Amino acid sequence: MEEKHIYIPNISCGHCISTIKRELSEIEGVRAVDGDPAAKIVTIQWNAPANWESILKTLDEIGYSPEEK
């Protein structure tokens, strides 16, 4: 299983985390999505067939692109 902790600067509340969880959970292979709105950090765990590129594409499409902190 792969795991990444990413910083998403435009997270402002729990609803943002819920949206990210809902959208990423639709990708086959994504196992867990958790986030901290105060820290603007999201943790994503996945297995194949999910991959980092498909996760990034989905985040970009829903307006939650990660940034280097």
Check which CATH number belongs to the domain holding 38 and give it.
3.30.70.100
Is residue 66 included in any domain, yes or no? no
Is residue 69 included in any domain, yes or no? no
Task: Return the structure tokens found at 19.
Answer: 């949206």
Q: Which domain holds residue 47?
A: 2-61
Say how many domains are in the chain.
1
Is residue 67 included in any domain, yes or no? no
pLDDT of residue 62: 98
Distance of CA 53 to the CA centre of its chain: 12
Cα 40 to Cα 6: distance, rounded to the nearest angstrom: 8
Is residue 47 included in any domain, yes or no? yes
Low-confidence ranges of the chain (pLDDT < 50): none
pTM: 0.94
pLDDT of residue 9: 97
- Count, in order, helices (H) and strands (E) of the chain: 2, 3
pLDDT of residue 68: 83
pLDDT of residue 50: 98
